[in-house]
Structure 1
Amino acid sequence: MSDHSVFPDPTYKDTVLAPLFEGTKAHYVGPIRAINRAHLVMLCETGILPGDTGTAIARALNAIDAEVDVAALTYTGEVEDYFFLVEAELRKRLGADVAGALHTARSRNDMDHTVFKMALRTRADTLLDEMTILAAALIDTATRERDTLIVAYTHGQPAQPSTFGHYLAAMVEVLLRDIARIEAARDLLDHCPMGAAAITTSGFPIDRHRMADLLGFREPLQNSYSCIAAVDYVTGLYSAMKLAMLHLGRVVQDLQFWTAFEVGQLYVPNALVQISSIMPQKRNPVPIEHLRHLASMTVGRCDAVVNTMHNTPFTDMNDSEGEVQVAGYQAFESASRVLRLLTALIPACKIRNDRVAATMDAACVTVTELADTLVRTEGVSFRQAHEIAAHTSRAVIAAGQSLGQGYEAFRAAFVAETGRQTVLDAPAFAAAVAPETFVRVRDRFGGPAPAPMDAALEGYTTTLSDIRARHADRTTRIAEAETARDAAFQSLAQE
């Protein structure tokens, strides 16, 4: 069969190759340069390439970096992609034989996944940094609001008193677990694919550990087939990101509910409120709505990447590369906006004590402690105590009273249930149903009382400090690798 067509087909060029080229320009030039330099150093150190060849290639790479304005390039189809553009530039300067030596013992397969990991680790480290900043802001705010009473809701209804600090501490715990999940996914980015070549490594005496060191990875990824086939470094990271945004979105939904006029528990300051164009009485805390949709958009973007891997072959394939990688970066962008906006919003908000007190009075949210107090002081069963508390709450609600005003209703309910008088006098009853009492006596591990809250906040601070130390270690390793790589490369260029 005769075929006189010439690569690339114009439509293929416009729909696939040109967008891929633009993606490389935007995201991968730096990692590709780093890999070229590290690979050349390793080839010369192992004796795979003679020193004079290495020096010639190093000087040519320096010239390409200085002379080629990558940002100004447009895709013409003369070469397939940026990789071949660099190789073509080397040929112009060195000739085909010397220029082609740089590609000894490597493939675009191991290069691509190394490039993608380098791009993702930068984004993952930024994400983790922003998550730790949010966690620190939440811990500080929880400390400040440790004793600030709120109404805790279950099933959308007022349930029990708690504190804003206790609520935020719950948020901190989930966030720290989400950070741990993303750190575990980040760990997969610390294993270098270089040296896997196409699939099976190489017959040349390459030093994979040296390549990993020069590129700032902790170690090589061991199995060479896994280096080019396993995409769990992608699916794991985006799955962990999705969970973090999903969990934060649930808190955002609470914030929306708390700011509703009918609830009014949370006050958002004017700096974060927009007005209506026609209704002057309205205060619209629209940043909360933006948080909700940004978190949901991030979840969707993460799903798009993970779902693209579904039912793909366990081998090197474009489904995990190029445009899919670039599309995933939008998830980091929207996640960053969520984290930064939450970090600004939550510390700025205040609890409206008057609305909290009104809801507590109207909904009898402290009645659980009345039942508990009866069990402890009157020797009745909890079921009996529950009935007495239920009769009391129904009576005061019908009378339009707060629970603290319901001593006579309580006394009547107690007699009706037990056939005797209660030992609680009116002041003891009022103390039992006070929200401050409710919180204070819940001093068990994990409760909202001051002692367990202080212990919890101290533990969160320690955990956060450990996270930041690991983050600093990763940052230092990458920076030191860059310094060592550039020094070795420039030394080679000067020989």
Structure 2
Amino acid sequence: MTTHDDPRARDASVFPDPVYKETVLRPLFDGAKTHHVAGFRAIDRAHLVMLAETGILPRATAGRIARALAEIDAEIDPAGLSYDGTVEDFFFLIEAELKKRLPADDTGRLHTGRSRNDIDHTLFKLALKPKFDRLAAKLRALITAALGLAEREKATLIVAYTHGQPAQPTTFGHYLSAAIEVMLRDHERLVQARALLDLSPMGAAAITTSGFPLDRARVAHLLGFAAPLQNSYGCIAAIDYATATYSAVELVFLHLGRLIQDLQVWTAFEVGQLYVPNAFVQISSIMPQKRNPVPIEHLRHLASQTMARARIMRDIVHNTPFTDMNDAEGETNEAGYQAFATGERVLDLLAALLPALQVDGRRVAENIRRSCITITELADTLVRTEGLSFRTAHEIAADVARAVVAADGDLPRDGYAPFRSAFRQHAGREPQLNEAAFAEAVSPEHFVAVRERFGGPGPQALTSAIAGYRGALAAAELAATATAAREASAHHELDAAFADLMGAA
């Protein structure tokens, strides 16, 4: 062989190479028949209707193609197909089937003005939208469950922790409301990402649209999209719909993982402020006394799996060229779909578990007693009633807390004597606060009741907050219902337009 030999002249190989067939083409074909058959069908029909309506194809020609497509749908069950390498992929399978059923002059006309590039990204969006909508609906169901529990427990005391240590008393409803706010923000991020999924790439063709007078808005409408995505290069290259989708999904489960971790700690024997009922407890095979709330562990690892699977999509796209490429297509999308499968399990289980949880008031009261966590309100009360600076009041309160904890006492009952001593030492006089007023100031009920500021755990503030969360959730439900109705209407409109086309002479 010399350097002037042309290897193309000697190439006797036949597509596909058997290893390439098994390692790439078969998995892609199987993924298409599993996830994208309905999408292919809808795209073919919508594009064909548009070609006929714009006059790009004669109506009679479009009618013959429509009837052939209907025959393919009736005669071929994609689930029963096994990839044999005679065609490159599912798209070319449909092309081959059309060729069998159409006059030679009609063969290939359906592909006028389009490319596998715009088809592929439209397929991926069509596949993502229902998965995305189911996940969002399950998140709203979880928010509903959390709201019910927050309403039920809005006056139920718990210990709030900072840095892993008891910090202040609040209510379980107040704690849950913080988590609900995050869930609502996560849902809003899902909504924002969903808006990108709702823009159609069809009509972008390979890169630059087409010289044919395509009606991109009509195809977008028939496929249930809100509008076409504008820039044709971005339609096939940007793929920020995928990175935005999976970033939003990842954040949902990253944030839920923190809530789940608190549930794990708070149900531990040493803390015990949450009781998990028997329906969510498994026993030890050897230790008779064990009550293992293992659903919480499953929530934790499934949330982590979901987060990691969503992050795969962003990691794969990192440092890829800004162009159409396989890195963000079939198999990558199929890997991402797994995030929805595990994510739905997390949301369902957590929505069932939360309402079943109960606060163990005895353990909460004991933990409050042992930790002296109402002492902050003593300092605040001294500023308001005794006219002290907060720093002086803080020093008095700190001395009281140390004395009560050292004696393993109860702050409301045993704290007044060390309080008077500390007050005289730091303020140089007797306090005006008597023993009854002192006991009220350091009670956990009073601690919560006086915190009626915006966002606080006080009864009025928390009731107002929960009402606001319910309003936000109701608005989200209405928006989701409206989107579903619009897409269902488009589906019926496409069916009617295609049926009408099938009757064309």
> Shorter-chain TM-score: which interval?
over 0.9
Q: Give the equivalent residue in structure 2 for 1:493.
A: 502
Q: Give the equivalent residue in structure 1 for 2:112.
A: 104
1:415-434 matches, cutoff 5 A: 415-434=424-443
- CA–CA distance in 2 between the matches of 1:78 and 1:4? 17
Q: Does 1:371 align with 2:379?
A: yes
Q: Does 1:475 align with 2:489?
A: no
- CA–CA distance in 2 between the matches of 1:100 and 1:74? 24
- CA–CA distance in 2 between the matches of 1:416 and 1:391? 10
1:328-477 matches, cutoff 5 A: 328-405=336-413, 406-477=415-486
- CA–CA distance in 1 between the matches of 2:140 and 2:104? 50
- CA–CA distance in 2 between the matches of 1:351 and 1:242? 30
- CA–CA distance in 2 between the matches of 1:14 and 1:250? 42
1:96 Cα shift? 3.8
1:199 Cα shift? 0.5
Q: Quote the RMSD (CA, aligned, Å).
A: 0.7
1:26-425 matches, cutoff 5 A: 26-405=34-413, 406-425=415-434
Which secondary structure state, in structure 2, belongs to the residue aligned with residue 278 of structure 1?
A: coil
Q: Give the equivalent residue in structure 2 for 1:8.
A: 16
- CA–CA distance in 2 between the matches of 1:402 and 1:91? 87
Q: 1:51 is matched by which residue type in structure 2? A: R
Q: Could you report, residue by residue, the CA deviation over 1:214-241 in whole angstroms, capped at 9, with x for unpaired residues? A: 0000000000000000110000110111
Q: Could you report, residue by residue, the CA deviation over 1:104-140 in whole angstroms, capped at 9, with x for unpaired residues? A: 1100000000000011111111111111111111111
TM-score, scaled to structure 1: 0.99
Shift >2 Å, 4+ stretches: none
Q: 1:389 is matched by which residue type in structure 2? A: A
Alignment size in residue pairs? 495
Which secondary structure state, in structure 2, belongs to the residue aligned with residue 159 of structure 1?
A: strand
Which secondary structure state, in structure 2, belongs to the residue aligned with residue 275 of structure 1?
A: coil
- CA–CA distance in 2 between the matches of 1:424 and 1:378? 8
Structure 2, unaligned runs of 5 or more: 1-6
TM-score, scaled to structure 2: 0.97
1:454 Cα shift? 1.0
Which secondary structure state, in structure 2, belongs to the residue aligned with residue 97 of structure 1?
A: coil
- CA–CA distance in 2 between the matches of 1:18 and 1:469? 42
Structure 1, unaligned runs of 5 or more: none
Which secondary structure state, in structure 1, belongs to the residue aligned with residue 202 of structure 2?
A: coil
Q: Percent identity?
A: 62
Q: Does 1:22 align with 2:30?
A: yes
